[in-house]
Amino acid sequence: MRKNTILVRDIMHERHLELDGNATIQQALDAMKANNAEVVIIKKRHPHDAMGILLLSDIVKKVLAQDKAPDRVNVYEIMSKPVIPVEPELDVRHCARLFSRFGLSNAPVVVDGEVLGIVSYNELVFHGLCELMY
């Protein structure tokens, strides 16, 4: 027998920060370390722009592996944009299907353009699937 529906808002984490796309990777890393953040959301530049996302995996693949200097690469050069947001009231099973279909590993949880948190594989498995099983 399954437990009640688990929603994205019930499992999301708040370990993210928001930066401008002109920040350098070094500035982003310093801010991530200082704030214990795992994800950087890149702010919109104007109302018709889209937000972006920067993950540690982006930094490893596009800066470290290519032997680029983190203080000479801007966030906008390696971020993913536009980002696919999820709503806090979304069932974790639908969120998992969205991740699978679009190859996502993280997504911002957004309401009215404001990022409330982040959902990732970790939350989907350990706080979504495991809770559904017990």
Residue 41, domain member (yes or no):
yes
* Residue-level pLDDT at 1: 39
Buried b (16+ CB within 10 A) or exposed e, 104-132: bebbbbbeeeebbbbbbeebbeebbbeee
Question: In the predicted model, what is the mean pLDDT of the chain?
Answer: 92
Report whether pLDDT(58) > 70.
yes
Report whether pLDDT(67) > 90.
yes
Residue 82, domain member (yes or no):
yes
The number of domains in the chain is 1
pTM of the model: 0.86
Report DSSP letters for 69-121, one per residue: -TTSSBHHHH-B-S---B-TTSBHHHHHHHHHHHT-SEEEEEETTEEEEEEEH
* Measured CA angle at 115 (ends 101, 61), to 5 deg: 55
Residue 3, domain member (yes or no):
no
Q: Which domain holds residue 71?
A: 8-133
Residue 88, domain member (yes or no):
yes
Q: What value does the mean pLDDT take over residues 77-93?
A: 96
Q: What value does the mean pLDDT take over residues 86-91?
A: 96
4-8, 81-85, 94-98: range with lowest mean pLDDT = 4-8
Phi, psi of 51 (to 5 degrees): -80, 155
CATH code, domain carrying 102: 3.10.580.10
| Distance in angstroms (rounded) separating the CA atoms of residues 115 and 20 | 14
* Residue-level pLDDT at 125: 86
Residue 1, domain member (yes or no):
no
Q: What value does the mean pLDDT take over residues 23-46?
A: 96
Residue 2, domain member (yes or no):
no
